[in-house]
Amino acid sequence: MPGLKGNSLRLKYRFMIELRPFLSLGRFQNDWLNAHYHFSFADYADPARVSWGKLRVWNDDEIRAGTGFPPHGHRDMEIVTYIRKGVLTHEDGLGNRGHTRAGDVQVMSAGSGITHSEFNLEGEDALIFQIWIMTAQKSAQPRWENRQFPGIERSGRWVALASGRTGDGDALRINQDAAVLGAHLEPGETVDFGFKDRFGYLVPAKGRVRANGLLVDARDGLAIAGEERVVFEAIDSSELVLVETA
């Protein structure tokens, strides 16, 4: 499975860029949740899409107004939620309660164990990315926090939203050598990123981009490994989310 480092990674995934179209993702739907799975999750199992480096889950969830995830438990996972539309209300067994709004991010380090709920209490459907990153610190003290990330901060550049890397001091903290980054691009603008000996997974929350010439539509996944430099060029006004991991 992905997770190799250095020359081993480069030999196994030689400069790999793989497009994963939105319509190829796993799917679950009931009366309150419309979910698309970039990786194996719940009853969706694909041996070719179990993880990518330390990235374990990327769910594209639409949550109907007035509904949500009832109390349930997690442990030993870094869970990052990126709100694309609407507001999510979080409550947990540690006594935390907070609202995370469109464009903002929350992090829950499940650590030794935490019970939480996530509800859309508003009058419109909510859209979120739910991102799970494998932890590097088992049985740590569980915690939750959120932060506003104004779009202007991400205009034309990458901003670390959640990170365990050194040098990303303003990002929400996770317990892993990984980062969740965001960028806003207008048509014709570019940002780049290097993935030497690293894994990357990109999803446009909205808009279309070209990645080294490859067209990536909104909500498509792009798996990257070992690429020295990938240039992302916006075709439309675009909102990008990228996970970079060992």
Q: What is the pLDDT of residue 11?
A: 44
> What integer is the mean pLDDT of 189-209?
97
Give the Cβ contact number of residue 61 at 10 Å.
22
Q: What is the CATH number of domain 6-245?
A: 2.60.120.10
Task: Please compute the mean of the pLDDT values over residues 183-196 and round it to a whole number.
Answer: 97
| Residue spans per domain, the chain | 6-245
% residues pLDDT > 90 (the chain): 90
- Helix/strand/coil for 24: helix
d(CA 56, CA 38): 9
Question: What would you measure as the largest C-alpha separation in the chain, in angstroms?
Answer: 51
Residues 6 or more apart in contact with residue 111 via CB below 8 angstroms: 75, 76, 135, 137, 139, 140, 141, 142, 143
The DSSP call for residue 137 is S
**Amino acid 150: pLDDT:** 83
- Distance of alpha carbon 149 from alpha carbon 70, whole angstroms: 27
Buried b (16+ CB within 10 A) or exposed e, 23-60: eebbeeeeeeebbbbbbbbeebeeeebebbbbbbbbbb
Residue the block writes with tokens 């374990």: 56
3-class SS of residue 74: strand
Query: How many angstroms from the chain centroid is the CA of residue 46?
Result: 19
Cα 58 to Cα 9: distance, rounded to the nearest angstrom: 22
Q: Could you read off the pLDDT of 39-68 as tens digits, one per residue?
A: 999 999 999 999 999 999 999 999 999 999
- pLDDT given at position 13: 54
Cα–Cα distance measured from residue 25 to residue 38, given in angstroms and rounded to the nearest whole number: 5
CA distance 42 to 31: 17
pLDDT reported for residue 157: 97
Q: What is the pLDDT of residues 6-27, one digit of tens each?
A: 444 444 555 699 999 999 999 9
Residue 169 pLDDT grade (very low, low, confident, very high; cuts 50, 70, 90): confident
pLDDT at 7: 43
